[in-house]
Amino acid sequence: MGATVAVVLLLAGCSDDGAGGSTSTTSTTASTGTGTGTGTTDTPTTGVVTGTTGPDAVCGDGNVDPGEGCDDGANNGPGQPCKADCTASSCGDGIVQAPEGCDDGNGVEGDGCSAKCTPEVCGDGVIQGDEQCDDGNADDTDDCSNACVSASCGDEVVQAGAGETCDAGAANSDSGACTTACAQAACGDGLLWTSEGGAELCDDGKDNGPGNACKDDCTPNTCGDMSVGPGEACDDGNAKAGDGCSPTCKLEACGSGVLDPGEVCDDGKNGDQDDGCTDLCLAPKCGDGFEQASLKEECDLGADNSNTGTCTLACKDAVCGDGLLGPNEDCDDGNKNDADICSNACKVQLPVNSCKAIKLADPAAKDGVYLLDPDGGGPKKSYEVYCEMTTDGGGWQVMNYLRKPEHWDIPIFTDSGVVGDTLGGFSSGETLKTGDDVFKERIIIYLNLIEDGNSLGKQWMVSDRGVGIPFSQINSTPNGWGYRDSFLYADPTVNDVCTHGCDTYRGFGMFHDYENQFGWCGTQGGDYGCRDGNNICWMPRSQSCNVGAGRCAYLIEAGEGVIYGAR
């Protein structure tokens, strides 16, 4: 077996003159082997190589020679792991080779190519360079725009996720349709929207609304808009005075200090009721409820003033002797005569022995049945009688209440029917004769007097005398009587009032005055054609006496009847 030695001489350089003064480095790869083929030794050599020589070292020959970082032979070059000068490609060398996406030859971030030779691209989910954000999506309405800029009002992109409802960019305006907060302008946002379709006159935000300076529709609260605003006491939506709210939206009320319609005066309700203007905004007067010394008032109960109360309608204290029936008074004749019916203590001085006494004691006494004591506690028994309290001052003791034609013929001193039965009729002549009270007047009341077919309603005739007579003599004392009636005819000396007899009521009270040619007055003895059996003479008024149906007194229907009474 022999040995083979290969010597490669690598010339690092040669001089042009061939002198041996240059230094060379040689790489020697020796192969010593036996028949087994093992054993290889490479020994670098510096200087002149003696012995065996080989080809010069060349970049690109595929061999990594001393001084080369790499040598891929024909694959060296741009974009390859090994460049053309046999130096290894690396990020930052300015040459893009796999797996680099870029290589700008520097380590500066944010210039489009990162220090790791990866492209800096918006949307890659990595915040790099001058990106403010990078969420790696294409949603331009979220917090990070597609330009990798953090969402902000004014970027002309409506970011709903950021609460924006509009974004007009530089055109955003607090007076426009899109505010500087990227919110759609609306009444109630506190901003005055006056352009781009806005016509707000005011906007106080949450302070808009009833009672405030700006209403819910962003219009000012003004007098006359039917909404009570600041400084207004009322607002009825009109400019009419006198309806409770003035044209300037002030209450038209007494006490305002302003003379409003319906007020006589207005001093602001100062509490002085006698200074010419009361707290009712009226001039002082009796009946206003305020006692005013300037009017010489003694009292004033307002609506409670009464001539039967403690304060009269003239605002005077009720006293005995003022002619008014006041509290605790039985009568009041307004004089100081203590010998008449009404004493100076305003007490009735007659026993209650007549309907007239009852009427004097109680002017409000009504028609009805009353208990009388004719001798005021003497031996005579009390009796019930019907008192007619309405006609000619009232106080009449009813002798006969006629409701049927046959009642004309009832004898004067007879009782019949039930006392007080004004529907069926009754008479109390016997009762009155038993009591035998003294009387000065007697009356015939025609409740429905018919004249020439026309109803004249209630009319009456009174016979009176200066000296009273007992009731038992009322039909036997024909002379000494006078006359007056509801038609205001009068004759003080008619004398005989029983010209047609006084035994029954048909002729009771009929008279003829020859002296003054007054004529006949009273109920005729016959009916002469009248419906209910009577004929009424009333010659001072009209017609003769025997006129038949020309003048009648009706009895039988509702509201009809004839009453004979005495007082």
Burial 363-392 (b: 16+ CB within 10 A, else e): eebebeebebbbeeeeebeebebbbbbebb
Q: How far apart are CA 71 and CA 73, in angstroms?
A: 5
Q: Could you tell me which residue, 501 or 474, shows the higher pLDDT?
A: 474
Is residue 536 helix, strand or coil?
strand
Angle at 565 between CA 394 and CA 507, to 5 degrees: 145
| Predicted confidence (pLDDT) per residue in 97-126, tens digit | 878 888 888 888 778 788 888 888 888 888
Is residue 308 helix, strand or coil?
coil
Name the pLDDT band for 350 (thresholds 50, 70, 90): low
Q: How far apart are CA 228 and CA 212, in angstroms?
A: 8
pTM, entire model: 0.42
Across 187-196, 370-379, 510-519, 530-539, the highest mean pLDDT is recorded for 187-196
- Two structure tokens written together for 198: 């806005």
Q: Which of 248-257, 287-296, 447-456, 509-518 has the lowest mean pLDDT?
A: 509-518
- Position 410 pLDDT exceeds 90: yes
Mean pLDDT of 228-244: 87
- Position 297 pLDDT exceeds 70: yes
Q: What are phi and psi of 360, to 5 degrees?
A: -65, -40
Domain layout of the chain by residue ranges: 355-566
Q: How far apart are CA 547 and CA 541, in angstroms?
A: 13
| Predicted confidence (pLDDT) per residue in 119-160, tens digit | 888 888 888 878 889 888 888 888 888 888 888 899 888 988
Q: How far apart are CA 566 and CA 443, in angstroms?
A: 6
- Quick one: what percent of the chain has pLDDT higher than 90? 48
The architecture CATH gives domain 355-566: Alpha-Beta Complex (3.90)
Check residue 484 and report its DSSP letter: E
- Position 539 pLDDT exceeds 70: yes
- Position 475 pLDDT exceeds 80: yes
Q: How far apart are CA 484 and CA 500, in angstroms?
A: 19
Q: Say how many CA atoms lie within 13 Å of 418 toward its Cβ.
A: 4
In the chain the first and final C-alpha atoms are separated, in Å, by 195
Closest CA to 528 of 512, 513, 543, 517: 543
Give 362's contacts (C-beta < 8 A, 6+ positions apart). Answer: none
Q: How far apart are CA 410 and CA 561, in angstroms?
A: 15
